[in-house]
Amino acid sequence: MRCVVANWKMNLRSGEAQAFCEDLLLRLPEGGSAEVGIAPPFTLLSLVSGLVRPRGLQVFGQNAHAEDKGAFTGEVSMPQLRDVGCSGVLLGHSERRQFFGETDAGLIKKIKAAWQWDLLPLLCIGESLAERDSGATLDVLGRQLSILAETGPGPLWVAYEPVWAIGTGRRAEAPQVQEAHAFIRAELIRHGACTDYEVPILYGGSVTPESFPELLGIPEVAGGLVGGASLDPHKFGELIKQAG
C-alpha cells in the first residue's frame, strides 16, 4: 500500500484551501491506487473534508487530546475530529514533541483514544541532529516505538521524519533511510503491531517530486508525509501520481 499525506501545518486560509482542493482534484490520476490524505489546520477541517472526501481522499487532524471532552482550553478532541469528517489524526509530530511538550507517555493515551473513535493514528517518530550525530538514531526510534507495547495492536500508519533533514538543507541519504525503515519494521513486528494490520511506513524528511521516486524505491518506504511541497497542488498532485 502506497500513502501520501499532506501536512499543511499552520498554513492557508479558507479561500486558499478551497482553491487548492479544487485544483488538486483536477490533477488526481485516473485509477490511482495510492491512499491520499490531507491534514489541514483545525479551522479548515470541515471545509476540506466536504471538498475531498467525496473523491476518496482522507482528512487527518494535526493533533488531538486524549480526553473526549472537558476543561482543556485550546484543545480538540477525537470525537470532534470525527464530527467534522476526519478519518485519521497525526500524533507525535516532531514539532509537537519539540515545541509543545508531547511525550511518549501521553501518546499511549492518544493512540488508544483515536482507536476508540475509529480514527487512524499516523504516528510520527524521528531523531534530532544531535541524536543522529551521536549515533543514537536507532535508540531513539526504539524508545519512541516502545509505546506500542502499551497500546496493543490496532490500525496504524507510521511516519519516519528525521528532524535534521526537514527544512535544513541537509538530506537523508538512501542508506540512512533504508536502515531506519528496516529497523522500524522490525520493531513493529517485535511489538506485534503488524500481526493483524498492515502498517505502512511513510518517510517525512522534506519530500519533493524530485526526491520521491528514489525514496519509493527504498525497501519499506510506503510513501510520504509531505510538508512544504503539500502547499502546492501541482507538486502534491505530482507526488500522488508518483505513488501510483
Query: pLDDT (tens digit, 9 = 90+) per residue, 181-207?
Result: 999 999 999 999 988 789 999 999 889
Q: Give the residue extent of every domain in the chain.
A: 3-243
Confirm whether pTM is higher than 0.75: yes
Judged by DSSP in three states, 32 sits in coil
CB 125 within 8 A of CB 160: yes
Judge whether residue 168 has pLDDT over 90. Answer: no
Banded pLDDT at 169 (limits 50, 70, 90): low
- As a residue count, the chain comes to 244
Q: Which residues are known to be catalytic?
A: 93, 161
Q: 3-243 — its CATH code?
A: 3.20.20.70
On the question of pLDDT at 110 being above 80, the answer is yes
Q: Give tens-digit pLDDT for 5-37.
A: 999 999 999 999 999 999 999 999 988 899 999
Rounded Cα gap, residues 163 and 129, in angstroms = 7
Contact yes or no for 62/90 (Cβ under 8 A): yes
Q: Give me the residues paired with residue 226 across strands.
A: 6
Q: What's the per-residue H, E or C state across 123-161? A: EEECCCHHHHHCCCHHHHHHHHHCCHHHHCCCCCEEEEC
